[in-house]
Amino acid sequence: MSHPARPGEAAPASPCVPFPPPAPAGHLNLAQAAQRGPLPDFLPTGDSVADVVPVVAPTGDHIWLVTGFDLGRKVLTDDRFSRAAAVAPTAPAIHPLRPDPAALTSLDPPQHTRLRRLVNRSFTPQAVARLEDGIRHTARRLLAGRTRIDLVAQYAMPLSATTICRVLGVPEADHAHFAGLADQALGITTGIFEEQSLARDALRDYIRHLIAEARRRPGGHMLGALATAHDESGTLSHQELTALVELLLNAGYETSVGQLGLTVVALLDHPEQWRLLATAAHPEHAPSAAVEELLRYAPVVPMSFSRVARQDLVLGTVRIRAGEAVVVSLLHAGFDPRTHPNASRLDVTRPHARHLTFGHGAHTCLGAQLARTQLRVALEELAAAAPGLTPRVPLRSLRWRRPEAVVRGPVALPVTLSGNAPGTRAS
């Protein structure tokens, strides 16, 4: 396998291990056509895409891209693929930024199992249910009295920041400070990545400050529990503790902001679907029933983390060799017509919409239940406040995060919070 080119060097023209021809076309390439905003330019194009295709990543590395739903689930649960091996310095990489090898998302069992067990209790259905009233109160406060709003900067960002900060136990006075630091470090509203190192350093300094405060006053929140696990039981190393808090803050915030933005764009692009959500005459079409379909149709992260094959194996009709990297297209998997009839259609009444947006298996998104709850509540409150929701600019002119960003989404989404529209309910 090839490795990333050094600065000033051209990427290798071909992999060290010859790739066989792509497998026969497996399903129509409906996924990219349905999306607004940029997508990674190495994704396969054309009317059809095979279940497993070779692609060249921005790093110059050759990666196997899995697009089928069933094969994608298989890769995400098969212990013949290693996540830890994929973060090694010499491993083929899908993105130039190498993840922290101590991060929860970079580990295989049993190390992954040990760390995940420490934080699972904060994301149980019961724990998430206790957060719902606070999420709803914040959403209503952010929408109250407004006729115009930027749904990214003035709704998704403060709502997501408040939610993840409450989970961790970040002081309420610091919520806005965290959101500002995270926005600068992650480029959420700017889409600019070149000058983020200082902001990232500032965010990490703030995280170290939070950990130090949690050690002094543990309280009953997750930060205190994690700090205690480090100081008293030695369950967490300092590097693991820092990486875990950074992951929870960043991932719990950035992905929630992007997903709400993508969801509302999809609904504005299909106004008849928005009317269904905002109509009291059809309670079965409430946001709670539509969230899975929206997650399928507009996934905030288009691809899984890469994994490296531990041994030679056959995936579908393709032979994968030990040391080669595999990535699942979470986007394409959600549009597999063998799993999703009329996959190109957004249908908020679709029963049992299936997707891999939160991953699958051991690395299923830790905060999946919280993300679902926050998205549902955010849509419920938005529909109540603005059943006649309309964009203030043409959707084609929206500014987006750049395609090399791991997380997708608009950087701004200006809308009018209009009242009753024909066929919609009163707020």
Confidence of residue 424 (pLDDT cuts 50, 70, 90): very low
Who wins on pLDDT, 176 or 192? 176
Judge whether 66 lies within some domain: yes
What CATH number is given to the structural domain containing 233? 1.10.630.10
Who wins on pLDDT, 1 or 188? 188
Judge whether 381 lies within some domain: yes
pLDDT reported for residue 246: 87
Judge whether 248 lies within some domain: yes
Average pLDDT, the chain: 86
Tell whether pTM > 0.75.
yes
pLDDT digits (tens, 9 = 90+) for 366-386: 899 999 999 999 999 999 999
Judge whether 7 lies within some domain: no
Confidence of residue 52 (pLDDT cuts 50, 70, 90): very high
Q: Compute the distance between CA of residue 314 and CA of residue 358 in angstroms, rounded to an integer.
A: 25
pLDDT reported for residue 395: 95
Residue 17 has pLDDT above 50, yes or no: no
Who wins on pLDDT, 282 or 14? 282
- Lowest-confidence range among 188-202, 255-269, 329-343? 188-202
- Which helix (H) or strand (E) segment is 210 a member of? helix 197-216
- Lowest-confidence range among 105-109, 276-280, 371-375, 378-382? 276-280
Confidence of residue 281 (pLDDT cuts 50, 70, 90): low
pLDDT digits (tens, 9 = 90+) for 123-135: 889 999 999 999 9
Q: How far is CA 152 from CA 75, 288, 342, 360, 409, in A?
A: 33, 21, 30, 28, 9
Judge whether 253 lies within some domain: yes
pLDDT reported for residue 179: 87
Judge whether 360 lies within some domain: yes
Q: How many domains is the chain partitioned into structurally? A: 1
In eight-state DSSP terms, residue 89 is T
pLDDT reported for residue 398: 96
Cα torsion angle, 175, 179, 182, 184, sign:
negative
Residue 354 has pLDDT above 80, yes or no: yes
Q: Compute the distance between CA of residue 175 and CA of residue 156 in angstroms, rounded to an integer.
A: 13
pLDDT reported for residue 25: 42
Q: Residues 73, 359: contact at Cβ < 8 Å?
A: no
Who wins on pLDDT, 424 or 56? 56
pLDDT reported for residue 348: 93
Judge whether 291 lies within some domain: yes
Average pLDDT over residues 263-288: 85
pLDDT reported for residue 49: 84
pLDDT reported for residue 280: 62
Judge whether 327 lies within some domain: yes
Average pLDDT over residues 277-284: 72
The domain of 150 spans 25-416
Residue 187 has pLDDT above 50, yes or no: yes
In eight-state DSSP terms, residue 392 is S
- Lowest-confidence range among 23-37, 51-65, 68-82, 244-258? 23-37
Read out DSSP for 236-259? Answer: S-HHHHHHHHHHHHHHHHHHHHHH
Who wins on pLDDT, 29 or 44? 44
Amino acid at 216: R
